[in-house]
Amino acid sequence: MNAVPSAEIVVIDDHPEHLDYLATLLRRCGYAVDAFRSAQAALRRVEQRAPGLVITDVFMPGMDGFEVLRDLRHARPELPLIAVSGKGPQDRAIFLKAMQQLGACAGFAKPIDMAALLDAVARVTGAAPSHRRSNGRST
């Protein structure tokens, strides 16, 4: 029997279908997830109770992933962040690399390789998923 993850994860994505899919997958793997379409709302939640990990889209209206990373580095420098981006293929690699240079612990392009994301989440949080879906679906 696999251990149940204890890490809380905050997921931020302005696209409801991406947000829903990521949050559902992580919950099915046993993680506690708070999902937000607004970076500002997510940061208010982080101020109240720090999660074990933040996963954020890079490009969002209002506050983008770079601003989220900057604010988290100022308020909670120890908090790990994983960046995801659906921007054009060439631009996406540049922005994900920039996020990692600024302190993100990993970056993933959409459609996300979910097995790789779950491995990164387990590595960062130290909490292995309680089970894995094997259908290979990605968002």
Confidence band, pLDDT 50/70/90 cuts, at residue 106: very high
At residue 94, the pLDDT reads 86
Judge whether residue 5 has pLDDT over 60: no
In angstroms, how far is CA 66 from the centroid of its own chain?
13
pTM (2 d.p.): 0.86
CATH number of 8-125: 3.40.50.2300
Q: How far apart are CA 69 and CA 83, in angstroms?
A: 9
Model confidence over 40-88: pLDDT tens digits? 999 999 999 999 999 999 999 999 999 999 999 999 999 999 999 887 6
99, two tokens? 């996020």
One-letter-per-residue 3-state SS of the chain: CCCCCCCEEEEECCCHHHHHHHHHHHHHCCCEEEEECCHHHHHHHHHHCCCCEEEEECCCCCCCHHHHHHHHHHHCCCCCEEEEECCCHHHHHHHHHHHHHCCCCEEEECCCCHHHHHHHHHHHHCCCCCCCCCCCCCC
C-alpha 104/C-alpha 126 separation (Å) is 16
